Amino acid sequence: MLKKYGIDVQELPEVRSVILYAENYEIVAKDPQVAVLNVGQQKIIQIICSGLERREKERKPHVEVSEEDIQFVMEQTGASRDEALEALKKSEGDIAKAILALQERKAGTT
């Protein structure tokens, strides 16, 4: 029926999940039925669902890590630059926690 108006509809029955990501939350469509409507050069995605669920994202503070901190952690642990940077980010910039985490990981692998 829509073909006579120049609209081609393609159903996507294999879709099991639809999640819309926003900066601080995501919306999950429950039991989605998805179709793509091709209208000229544009595509319209139609989602029919049994309900929507809003999930708040955990906000992690942005951590600025100085080169001096990275070098210090590397010197204290023998870790690579990437390992030191990752540990500092995971510890939210806490140098002592980063060093302990790297030392514990090193002790667990020896």
Query: Hey, where are the domains in the chain?
Result: 2-56, 67-109
For 49-78, the pLDDT digits (tens) are 999 999 998 776 678 899 999 999 999 999
Cα 98 versus chain centre, distance: 23
Q: Does the pLDDT at position 110 exceed 60?
A: no
CATH of 2-56, one of 2.30.30.90, 1.10.3720.10, 2.20.70.30, 3.50.50.60: 2.20.70.30
pTM more than 0.85: no
For 11-57, the pLDDT digits (tens) are 999 999 999 999 889 999 999 999 999 998 999 999 999 999 999 98
**Nearest-10 Cα torsion for 12, 16, 22, 23:** -140
Q: What is the CATH number of domain 67-109?
A: 1.10.8
Distance CA 108, CA 97 (A): 16
